[in-house]
């Protein structure tokens, strides 16, 4: 028998996974901690009351089935998603429960849309890739900014980060993506994904406060080039990254995030600034918050909560902006997330 409040967190022992477990408990869910590290899961379970541990490896379908048994949904927080997404999606489809992940790996997200759209639609199950800071948040912001527009010429998503202390998982996922496209870069232009070898270009970007004007690297491509075009008619999607954050990421000596508050967040401030243009008209929406890994937890748990309560527009494989009411979803995250450019209802 399915337990309505039980949600599996696959990859619970990771940096983002721990934030997700805490958010689930905060909202009254009963997390099931899963992954391949039995000792790590048992150690983590001691930090909370009434959590369940179910060890499972992605190369063992039977163990995954046992891990998901009786759960209402599964959140995949275990990278590299090129390895974990497929097996966990398939286990979710066998169990008939929603699957949501926090993948920032572009190729893994492409594969989820390509490989599971038909099966998820036939099963009537929601499969939501990239429901995280990279991919999910940008998609919601662009969808909200477009509003009543049915199409746009361009969508620009600029990431202003005061710093970027990447986790080991981020570094591994980035390396996997780099290898899968043989070091080439990717962009969405003229209505299609394109690989290219153009050198990175720096330019200025006027972020809302508290960041102000910053140098950014243009076409620092993130998961938005997959999520946004999957449901919005936009000819070009461009993403930008603050230079200081890109340098932190490329520096092998940059340490992992360090907690500065009781919630475990780092002192990193971010602003995601979105500009959409159509026929010479421009619309702009932005979101500001603290710690890109921490904000992923309310994003992904809010998604699960809405799916389980029936507050969705469709089933099958779908990004955040297609599945949910984008504006309402964004406002639900305040005051953790500060939104500008939208009129609060």
Measure the CA–CA gap between 28 and 44, rounded to whole angstroms: 18
Q: In this predicted structure, what is the pLDDT of residue 173? A: 82
Measure the CA–CA gap between 273 and 149, rounded to whole angstroms: 19
Q: In this predicted structure, what is the pLDDT of residue 190? A: 85
Give the tokens for residue 19: 């934030």
Residue 298: closest CA among 26, 44, 92: 26
User: Distances in Å between the alpha carbon of 210 and those of 94, 144, 186, 272?
Assistant: 46, 22, 30, 12
Question: Which DSSP category does 59 fall into?
Answer: T
Q: In this predicted structure, what is the pLDDT of residue 1? A: 37
Q: In this predicted structure, what is the pLDDT of residue 327? A: 98
Give the tokens for residue 96: 């008939």
Q: Which residues contact 155 (CB under 8 A, 6 or more apart)?
A: 142, 224, 228, 232, 234, 236, 237, 238, 274, 275, 276
Measure the CA–CA gap between 223 and 85, rounded to whole angstroms: 15
Q: In this predicted structure, what is the pLDDT of residue 4? A: 55
Question: Which DSSP category does 279 fall into?
Answer: T
Residue 321: closest CA among 171, 107, 105, 157: 157
**Quick one: CA torsion of 335, 133, 159, 211, rounded to 10 degrees?**
20
Give the DSSP letter string of 199-244.
PPEEEEEEPPTTT-EEEEEET---THHHHTTTTSEEEEEEEEEEHH
Question: Which DSSP category does 135 fall into?
Answer: I
Q: Which residues of the chain have pLDDT under 50?
A: 1-2
User: What domains can be seen in the chain, in order of their start residue?
Assistant: 6-132+297-323 (3.40.50.720), 134-291 (3.30.360.10)
Quick: pLDDT tens for 18-68.
Answer: 999 999 999 999 999 999 999 999 999 999 988 999 999 999 999 999 999
Question: Which DSSP category does 56 fall into?
Answer: -
């Amino acid at each position: 028998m399915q337990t309505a409040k039980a949600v599996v967190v696959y990859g619970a022992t990771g940096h983002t996974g721990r934030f997700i477990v805490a958010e689930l408990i905060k909202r009254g869910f009963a997390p099931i901690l899963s992954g391949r590290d039995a000792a790590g899961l048992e150690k983590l379970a001691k930090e909370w009351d009434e959590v369940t541990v179910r060890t499972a490896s992605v190369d063992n379908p039977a163990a995954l089935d046992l891990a998901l048994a009786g759960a209402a949904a599964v959140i995949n927080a275990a990278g590299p998603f090129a390895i974990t997404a497929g097996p966990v999606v398939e286990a979710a489809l066998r169990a008939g429960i929603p699957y949501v992940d926090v993948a920032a790996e572009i190729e893994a997200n492409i594969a989820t849309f390509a490989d599971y759209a038909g099966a998820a639609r036939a099963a009537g199950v929601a499969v939501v890739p990239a429901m995280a800071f990279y991919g999910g948040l940008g998609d919601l912001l662009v969808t909200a900014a477009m509003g009543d527009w049915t199409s746009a010429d361009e969508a620009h998503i600029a990431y202003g980060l005061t710093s970027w202390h990447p986790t080991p998982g981020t570094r591994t996922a980035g390396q996997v993506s780099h290898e899968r496209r043989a070091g080439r870069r990717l962009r969405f232009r003229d209505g299609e994904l394109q690989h290219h070898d153009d050198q990175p270009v720096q330019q200025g970007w006027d972020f809302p406060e508290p960041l102000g004007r910053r140098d950014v690297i243009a076409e620092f491509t993130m998961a938005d080039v997959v999520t946004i075009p999957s449901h919005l008619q936009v000819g070009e999607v461009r993403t930008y990254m603050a230079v200081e954050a890109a340098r932190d990421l490329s520096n092998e000596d940059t340490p992992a995030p360090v907690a500065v508050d009781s919630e475990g967040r780092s002192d990193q401030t971010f602003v995601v600034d979105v500009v959409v243009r159509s026929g010479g008209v421009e619309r702009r929406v932005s979101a500001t918050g603290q710690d890109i890994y921490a904000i992923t937890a309310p994003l992904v748990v809010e998604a699960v909560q809405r799916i389980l309560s029936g507050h969705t527009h469709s089933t099958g494989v779908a990004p955040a902006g297609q599945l949910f009411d984008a504006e309402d979803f964004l406002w639900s995250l305040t005051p953790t997330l500060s939104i500008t450019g939208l009129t609060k209802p």
